[in-house]
Structure 1
Amino acid sequence: MNGIKAEYSTKIRIVLALALVFVIMNGCSNSKDNTASDTASPDASASGQSTEPATKKPKSKISVSVYDRGTVPAAEGTIDDNRWSKWINTNGPANVGFVPIPRWESLPKLNTLFASGSAPDLIFEFDAKIKNQFLAQKQFMPIDDMVSKSVEYKKFLEQNPGVKKLAMNEDGKMYYFGRVVGPTLNVGLVIREDWLENLGLRSPTTPEELLAVSKAFTERDPDGNGKKDTFGYHLSFIGGGVIDRMYNSGEIPDGMLLNNGELVRQWDNSKAALQLKKQLFDAGTVDKDFLTDKGEKALQDFVNGKLGIYGINNINAISVGYKNFETLRKNNPNAKIKFIPFPTTAYGSYSWGWEPIQMVAAVNAKAKNPQAVMDYMDFLTKDSTQLSLTYGVENEHWKMGEDGCPKQIDPAKSKAEVDYNGDFRIQANIGIGLIAKCAQLEKVYDVKIPLQKEYLDLLLQQAKPAYLNPERPFNGFTASGYNPALPQDLSALSASLTQSINDIFNKAIVSGASYSVDQAINDAKIAWSKGSGDKIEAWYKDWYAKNKDKIYTTAEIYKQYVK
């Protein structure tokens, strides 16, 4: 017994009495009622009820990044202080300090944190280019030794060798933690079908038709309100990216395309994409201030019924894609949308990229307690943790259904208390096991709710055949997240050249006749040449020649995951 010093006594009755007390107390402290549960209520500790064993080693402190999307309800707190951050600290092996990272500004934020020496111990990041840039700067440590001492994550790698293969760097060491997600409906292109009907138009299937429909949506009062207050298209965020992918110039590392068995720097694809963007801008079909819009303005235009063709992110998620559809319908009860394939160009037919296996996290090279980080990753990898973070607390947010999948008790409660926590469960393996089974769209959406059934039908009948189709693959020789990491000096060079070329292209879009696409491409080539872009080209060509047999190719990915 802690705090009690028992002295030797010849009085056997006292010894036996003390021994009996110890047994009783020890038995109580290890009873089922006082053992931490993987699905304990986030508020259990606040109520005074113990959720952890009476005897345990002190928890280590670690810092972990978390995307801040601005979606946490005010009643729930903030992204770094809410019921789920508290649940993780109550039930997990470490005391975690969460560091908010603005979702679409992670590179500048992480650059600032690394520069100041305050970057988190564990960094979650989807963007392979961002991760590879910091890897080239030697900001991440190898995780092989950590993983060898782990339990859950080590078992996960043994069961999913593809994750280990993709996590391996050219030096033969692993630097990233990964997850299995399978084929994903992520980004789509939606069009106001009721506007098409009002104007007697059909969905665009070519860039010329996309331009024509965008003009009609801008000029011909598609909503019938007697005002010229609508946009046909948008170039901010997803909108511009869709056009890049139409021309096979998106998700391509430094513009390097596979041609006749080798990687070469392409310019024609980028020129064609730039030409369409400039035509859309010059025709007045897009918001003139698109360069300052990180996507929020375009989203508001869409849900408020002022934008006709919209590149939409996370289309399969109830909390994002469906929520946007629900808001649109609330604001415009007669609105009808349709998912359309990206228009086909002279360069082919394509879709937005997806990765069946994602590398999602890395460990700061200066992390003081790598073992605590590994213990935390083990905790996140556990099925019970993933179940709780995905569905909430059993008997509070869900009960197990007859089909073996969690069923929400009160959808409104789950929406308010659970839906915002997606970035705490980035490690969740949504492509395998129970979560994969229960994450099927048919199980996620409630067909008894008419609007959900309508949206589900759109996903299954339109989006899925359009965006998960081997005849419309994503750009590149492999998924963007699997592209090679440039060495540090070339990575810095690539980042600088990419920014310079983007600035040149944006100047061409907004400058009218004073700065043509031909001028922009010529200036971009000059910038590439003067900036030693030939060194980047040479590195990619050499890398491909040495590694082409090891690449997880686009064709292989579609063959394995898209039936």
Structure 2
Amino acid sequence: MTTRGGSTLRKIIQRACLPRLMTTVVIISIISGCSTHSENAQETATQKSAKRGNISVTIYDRGNIPSGQGTIENNVMTKWINQAGPVDVTFVSVPRTQSEQKLNTLFAGGGAPDLILEYAPQIKNPLIDQGQLRPLDDMIERYSTTYKALLAKFPALRKAGTGTDGKLYQFGRINETIPQRGVFIRKDWLDKLHLNIPQTTEEMYQVAKAFTEQDPDGNGMNDTYGLALAYNSVAILNEMFGVTYPNFVVQGNELIHGWDHIQAVTAFKKRLYNEGLVDKEFYIDKYGAKAKRDFLNGKIGIYMDQFNVPITFYNDFYLGLKKSVPEAELAIMPYPATPVGRFNPILVNPVQMTGLVNAEAKDPESVMKYVDFAASETFMKTMYYGFEGVHSKTLPGQCPQVTDLSKWQKEFNYASGDFAMLSSPTLAGKCYFGVEKMDTKDPLQQEVKKMFEANASFVDFDLQMAGPTHSEQMPQLTKDLQQILTDTMKQVDVGEGDIWMKSILTPNYSPEQAKQDAIAVWEKAGGAQVDAWYKAFYEKDKDRIILSRDIYDIFKQQRALQNK
């Protein structure tokens, strides 16, 4: 099997420090398959027989806990973790959208938890530089079994978790890598108005205009929007135009600041806003709650959101839409071509660093025991399928099947992924790929499964993702350069930087002028040094990190495993 540019899959995986990945995944899949209940029980009993410590661990609070399920720190999952795990755990909530502020406050006050679960490099790297985090090699060597074995099989975990001083600071996992987000369009509206799925952003604008102005729901009222422009929709539009945090794009063989891309996507958003094709108050819908409500009530024609866990989209979106508008039909659309090119959606980071240890942790042995437990198949199976005999059932030789979806949804769906931030699901075989949880007898679930599979099929391996790689794989800047980047993001970030948002909302403030102003802010802060550093790294050292092409190869490999 050869890849673009003439390199073999083996060579590309070796370049990314991912040796033996395909072989290892296949062997694990064949040997382990799906663990039996008795094996899980034996593993749990062994863990409970050891001396118990007491640690604290962060957990994201997304504000989505169903009524009657307790709190993010005290619920069915946390109780099981404390009963089945090797240590007693106190969970400390961190608001998902304010994790940086909360963690900085906790560390400043001397009360940061022992184990920090966090995705964002821009939050983690400063903590490493400040000496707030503990190097991990000694505790892994002395106390670990499960994670030590994972490091031996996947050296990329060590590489991705190592700081600029050469010490290992982060625990990680191997993810199923698939498109992280999706663009959903009301197919029934397209059919009614005799329109096709847009292939370019110009066609997307025309469809959004028709959805807004031609009464697609047939109620005789002017009450529909062409598309949503809040929360995840912002990130997806940015990805369509080839740019994401930290605003750098590949042009030819160079890594440059994507000012032209940001200007182009801002102009597109401004056009939608000016012509009333989006909610005029989208900018105060910070977490997308109103946009989601409008979509579920059948008032939005193009909706963009996370789509890396199909059962979650089915539970949180599709059921609600079909309940409100039974005749609604959704199609998934590929990212359209833009004035600055066509790009793939961001794929889920396949080698993802998620765990760090407080330098002040008093019991590193217990922290390591918990990490091993959280990386085990027992933990992973429970977070994915709930309790055997309660939420799911496993027949000999088959994958677990969720038998009470409603109960699983209430008790696990809202946070199981966050509790499982140290789990590597696909290493346990086909049972843990996202589509395997979909009920083959439920026609609505099968519709979502087809959309999910179609979204994966849209990936064009000749195209670049936004940026040179997943943002979590970007090389770590030096401390002074990272500070420049952090200090300027509130004004110049492609997501919701103040300058770009002002351009969208202000009639006489053009995207061209916004670009000039953003560049001025950037250069005044010393941003030219950041540009030069990234440019030089990409020219000389880019093979030291996992790039888009390497993520594509892991994606192909996992699809091949899934289809066996």
When the two structures are superposed, what TM-score results if normalisation uses the length of structure 2? 0.85
Letter in structure 2 aligned against 1:323? D
Q: Is 1:273–2:273 an aligned residue pair?
A: no
Deviations 1:468-518 (A, max 9, x none): 432444212222211012222222221121112210110000001x21111
Asked if 2 retains the 8 angstrom alpha-carbon contact of 1:62 and 1:369, the reply is yes
Indicate the residue corresponding to 1:79 in structure 2.
72
The 3-state SS of whatever aligns with 1:75 is: coil
User: For 1:479-498, what aligned pairs fall within 5 Å after superposition?
Assistant: 479-498=470-489
Structure 2 residue runs of 5 or longer lacking an equivalent are 1-38, 558-564
Asked if 1 retains the 8 angstrom alpha-carbon contact of 2:314 and 2:448, the reply is no
Q: Is 1:258–2:253 an aligned residue pair?
A: no
Indicate the residue corresponding to 1:8 in structure 2.
none
Q: Is 1:425–2:420 an aligned residue pair?
A: yes
Indicate the residue corresponding to 2:446 in structure 1.
453
CA–CA separation in structure 1 for the residues paired with 2:367 and 2:476: 24
CA–CA separation in structure 1 for the residues paired with 2:98 and 2:345: 21
1:36: Cα distance to partner?
A: 10
Deviations 1:232-252 (A, max 9, x none): 12221121112211221224x
1:539: Cα distance to partner?
A: 2.5
1:53: Cα distance to partner?
A: 9.2
C-alpha change, 1:53 and 1:546, in structure 2 (3 Å) is closer
Q: Is 1:64–2:43 an aligned residue pair?
A: no
Structure 1 residue runs of 5 or longer lacking an equivalent are 1-34, 41-50
Deviations 1:367-414 (A, max 9, x none): 232222111101111222222232222233332224431123333332
CA–CA separation in structure 1 for the residues paired with 2:262 and 2:151: 39
Alpha-carbon RMSD across the aligned residues, in angstroms, is 2.3
Q: Is 1:443–2:439 an aligned residue pair?
A: no
Deviations 1:326-372 (A, max 9, x none): 11011000001110011112332223312111111111233232222
Letter in structure 1 aligned against 2:178? T
User: For 1:408-423, what aligned pairs fall within 5 Å after superposition?
Assistant: 408-420=402-414, 421-423=416-418
Q: Which runs of 4+ in 1 moved over 6 A?
A: 51-55
Give 1:226's match in structure 2, choosing from 220, 225, 233. 220
Indicate the residue corresponding to 1:32 in structure 2.
none
Indicate the residue corresponding to 1:477 in structure 2.
468
Deviations 1:454-480 (A, max 9, x none): 2222222x21212x4324442122222
Greater relative contact order: 1 or 2 (C-alpha under 8 angstroms, separation 6 or more)?
A: 2
C-alpha change, 1:333 and 1:146, in structure 2 (3 Å) is same
1:549: Cα distance to partner?
A: 3.0
CA–CA separation in structure 1 for the residues paired with 2:238 and 2:291: 18
Give 2:319's match in structure 1, choosing from 320, 326, 332. 326
Q: Which has the larger radius of gyration?
A: 1
Indicate the residue corresponding to 1:139 in structure 2.
132
CA–CA separation in structure 2 for the residues paired with 1:140 and 1:336: 49
CA–CA separation in structure 2 for the residues paired with 1:472 and 1:303: 33
CA–CA separation in structure 2 for the residues paired with 1:273 and 1:177: 35
CA–CA separation in structure 1 for the residues paired with 2:49 and 2:235: 54
Asked if 2 retains the 8 angstrom alpha-carbon contact of 1:256 and 1:266, the reply is yes
Give 2:281's match in structure 1, choosing from 280, 289, 299. 289
CA–CA separation in structure 2 for the residues paired with 1:374 and 1:550: 28
The 3-state SS of whatever aligns with 2:204 is: helix
Q: Is 1:96–2:89 an aligned residue pair?
A: yes
CA–CA separation in structure 2 for the residues paired with 1:156 and 1:299: 39
CA–CA separation in structure 1 for the residues paired with 2:461 and 2:47: 52
Structure 1 residues 543-552 or 327-336, which shifts more? 543-552
Asked if 2 retains the 8 angstrom alpha-carbon contact of 1:36 and 1:52, the reply is no
Asked if 2 retains the 8 angstrom alpha-carbon contact of 1:39 and 1:393, the reply is no
Indicate the residue corresponding to 1:165 in structure 2.
159
CA–CA separation in structure 2 for the residues paired with 1:117 and 1:53: 30
CA–CA separation in structure 2 for the residues paired with 1:444 and 1:427: 20
CA–CA separation in structure 2 for the residues paired with 1:438 and 1:123: 28
Give 2:535's match in structure 1, choosing from 533, 541, 557. 541
